[in-house]
């Protein structure tokens, strides 16, 4: 059985969602970053943390990739061209969505107040708007980034879309909003959101 540490208002939501999609048993500990509960397993105090036996895994994307590979779902096999394309989508989302949102968060509430630069958010929002356009090109006419197959990058994309909405970043056009809505309406997402 797995244990996932971290609240649903964090990247732990990505892992919870995939665990629900996989239909595997897990325990959820909604601990806050840098809490003693988290530091007991990961000294840096960052969430999420996935425990499997005596091993603690960190970083949501590494955890998602591990779980998808282990269970053979929501991914293409390593060493295939489809996996390289899938990983390209994942890296694009981490660079062009997650990194921008995380930088905005750092300058909103993570960094010490004296180190925050509020004006940086304008450039991040501008860049995010252009990233939405590139995501639409990547989606093309497919239901998911990998055509008819939902994979790890779709989870990251939908999570970032929710994060962007709460951070008041530019909203997507109707096509992308439909893609995000379809993903977030999945029963597994709804169960994870109520974990």
Domain edge (last residue) among 56, 74, 92: 74
Q: Which two tokens stand for residue 162?
A: 């929710």
Q: What is the pLDDT of residue 109?
A: 86
Q: What is the pLDDT of residue 174?
A: 96
Instruction: For residue range 145-159, list pLDDT tens digits in order.
Output: 999 999 999 999 999
- CATH number where 19 lies: 3.40.30.10
Q: Is the pLDDT of residue 195 over 90?
A: no
Q: What is the pLDDT of residue 145?
A: 98
Question: How confident is the prediction for the chain on average, in pLDDT?
Answer: 96
Sign of CA dihedral 62, 50, 22, 135: negative
CA distances from 145 to 16, 35, 53, 118 (A): 20, 36, 33, 33
Question: 86 with 178, same domain?
Answer: yes
Q: How many domains does the chain have?
A: 2
pLDDT, average across residues 116-135: 96
Domain edge (last residue) among 33, 55, 74: 74
Q: What is the pLDDT of residue 58?
A: 95
Question: 162 with 99, same domain?
Answer: yes
Q: Which of 194, 192, 128 is nearest to 161 (CA)?
A: 128
Model pTM score? 0.96
Instruction: For residue range 86-113, list pLDDT tens digits in order.
Output: 999 999 999 999 999 999 998 988 889 9
Task: Label residues 42-56 b or e (16+ Cβ within 10 Å = b).
Answer: beebbbbbbbeeeeb
Please report whether residue 192 resides in a domain: no
Q: What is the pLDDT of residue 110?
A: 83
Question: 39 with 131, same domain?
Answer: no
Question: 105 with 154, same domain?
Answer: yes
Cα separation, 144 vs 74, in Å, equals 11
147: domain range?
81-186
Sheet of 49-52, strand order: 26-29, 2-5, 49-52, 55-58
Instruction: For residue range 32-83, list pLDDT tens digits in order.
Output: 999 999 999 999 999 999 999 999 999 999 999 999 999 999 999 999 999 9
Domain edge (last residue) among 27, 42, 74: 74
Residues linked to residue 4 through DSSP beta bridges, in sequence order: 28, 50
- The three-point CA angle 63-64-70 to 5° equals 90
Question: 90 with 176, same domain?
Answer: yes
- CATH number where 159 lies: 1.20.1050.10
Please report whether residue 195 resides in a domain: no
Please report whether residue 191 resides in a domain: no
pLDDT, average across residues 132-153: 97
pLDDT, average across residues 21-28: 97
Q: Which two tokens stand for residue 40?
A: 């007991």
Q: Is the pLDDT of residue 2 over 80?
A: yes
Q: What is the pLDDT of residue 47?
A: 96
Please report whether residue 193 resides in a domain: no
Question: 155 with 88, same domain?
Answer: yes
């Amino acid at each position: 059985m797995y244990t996932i540490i971290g609240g649903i208002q964090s990247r732990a939501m990505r892992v919870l969602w995939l665990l629900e999609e996989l239909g595997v048993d897990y325990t959820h500990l909604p601990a806050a970053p840098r809490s003693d509960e988290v530091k007991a397993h990961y000294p840096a105090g960052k969430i999420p943390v996935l425990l499997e036996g005596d091993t603690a895994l960190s970083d949501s994307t590494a955890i998602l990739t591990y779980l998808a590979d282990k269970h053979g779902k929501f991914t293409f096999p390593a060493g295939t061209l489809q996996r390289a394309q899938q990983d390209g989508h994942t890296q694009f989302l981490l660079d062009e969505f997650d990194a921008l949102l995380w930088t905005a968060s750092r300058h909103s509430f993570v960094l010490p107040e004296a180190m925050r630069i509020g004006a940086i958010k304008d450039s991040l929002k501008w860049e995010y708007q252009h990233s939405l356009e590139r995501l639409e090109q990547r989606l093309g006419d497919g239901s998911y980034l990998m055509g008819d197959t939902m994979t790890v990058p779709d989870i990251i994309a939908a999570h970032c879309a929710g994060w962007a909405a709460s951070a008041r970043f530019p909203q997507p056009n109707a096509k992308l909003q439909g893609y995000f809505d379809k993903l977030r309406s999945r029963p597994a997402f709804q169960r994870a959101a109520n974990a």
